Chains A and B, each alone.
Chain A
Amino acid sequence: GAGVSQSPSNKVTEKGKDVELRCDPISGHTALYWYRQRLGQGLEFLIYFQGNSAPDKSGLPSDRFSAERTGESVSTLTIQRTQQEDSAVYLCATRKGVGEPQHFGDGTRLSIL
Chain B
Amino acid sequence: AIQLTQSPSSLSASVGDRVTITCRASQGISSALAWYQQKPGKVPKALIFDGSSLESGVPSRFSGSGSGTDFTLTISSLQPEDFATYYCQQFNSFQGLTFGGGTKVEIK
Query: Is the pairing of A and B real?
Result: no
Interface positions of B (Cβ within 8 A of A): none
